Amino acid sequence: MKNQKTLIIFDFDNTLFKTREFWREYLFPFYIKIGIPENYIEGAFIKATTVPVDYFVPKLFINELYSAVKKDNKYSRQQLKDIFKTHVYSPTVRKYFYPGSLRLLRKAKKKYKTLLISYGDKKFKTKFFNYCGLDRYFSSEEIIITGRKKAESLGRLAVPENCVIIDDMKDEAKEMASFLVGKGISVKILVAHRSLKEILKKI
Ligand SMILES: [Mg+2]
C-alpha cells in the first residue's frame, strides 16, 4: 500500500489573502491622498484587470491611471509608479492575510504536501509573493502562477492519491477536482470564505 501524504492545493486571492480589500482599502487611498479622484483609480484598475488579459498587470494600471490624470498636469508617471512600488512591494502587505491563513499554512506545511496555484501575471505575482512572505511556507516549485486555467497546470504534476483543494471559488475548485478525479485521485473541496479558522479545524 502506498503511504503518500495528502496534497493540499491552495488558492491565494480572496482565499488566503484579502485581495479586494488590499487594492481598494490599502493602495487606492495613497492615490486619493494626493488628490486623484477615486473613480479614476477604480477605472484604471478595472481596465488593468480586464484588457487585454483578465488579471491584474501593474504596468497597465500605471498607464491607465496616468492617462486619466495627464490633462491635469499635476502628476508624473514616475510619481504614480513610485506610490505603487513603495506600498505594494512592502512587507506591510502581510496585514492583508485573512485571520487563520498563516496558521493554516504552518499546519499544512507540517502535515501535508502543499501547493499554491494562483491565477495572474507571473512577473508581478512572483515579486508580490516574496513581500507576502510566502517563501516561508512554499518552495519555489510549490508555487504555480498561471495566466491559464488552473486545471491545465495540474497535468504536468505528480499528484498523490488524496488531495484537498482550498479555494474561495467553487467553480474553479470543481474544475481542478474533476481533472484530478479523472486521473483516479480522490479530492475534497473546502470553500474558503473570509476566515480560515473553520478550515483550520478540518485539516
Ligand atoms: Mg480566489
Domain chopping of the chain, boundaries: 7-17+97-202, 19-93
On whether the CB atoms of residues 154 and 179 are closer than 8 A, the answer is: yes
Residue 155: what pLDDT?
A: 85
| C-alpha of residue 27 to centroid of ligand 1, in Å | 19
Q: Tell me the C-alpha distance between 122 and 131, whole Å.
A: 15
Angle at 169 between CA 164 and CA 175, to 5 degrees: 65
| C-alpha of residue 194 to centroid of ligand 1, in Å | 11
| C-alpha of residue 193 to centroid of ligand 1, in Å | 10
Cα 65 to the chain's mean position, in Å? 22
Residue 1: what pLDDT?
A: 44
| C-alpha of residue 151 to centroid of ligand 1, in Å | 14
| C-alpha of residue 4 to centroid of ligand 1, in Å | 27
pLDDT tens for the chain, residues 1 to 203: 456 899 999 999 999 999 999 999 999 999 999 999 999 999 999 999 999 899 999 999 999 999 999 998 999 999 999 999 999 999 999 999 999 999 999 999 999 999 999 999 999 999 999 999 999 999 999 999 999 999 999 988 888 999 999 999 999 999 999 999 999 999 999 999 988 989 999 98
Residue 156: what pLDDT?
A: 81
On whether the CB atoms of residues 114 and 137 are closer than 8 A, the answer is: yes
| C-alpha of residue 103 to centroid of ligand 1, in Å | 19
| C-alpha of residue 119 to centroid of ligand 1, in Å | 8
Question: C-alpha distances in angstroms, 176 versus 87, 134, 148, 150, 190?
Answer: 33, 22, 12, 7, 13
Neighbours of 78 (CB within 10 A): 10
On whether the CB atoms of residues 98 and 194 are closer than 8 A, the answer is: yes
For domain 7-17+97-202, is the CATH number 3.40.50.1000?
Answer: yes
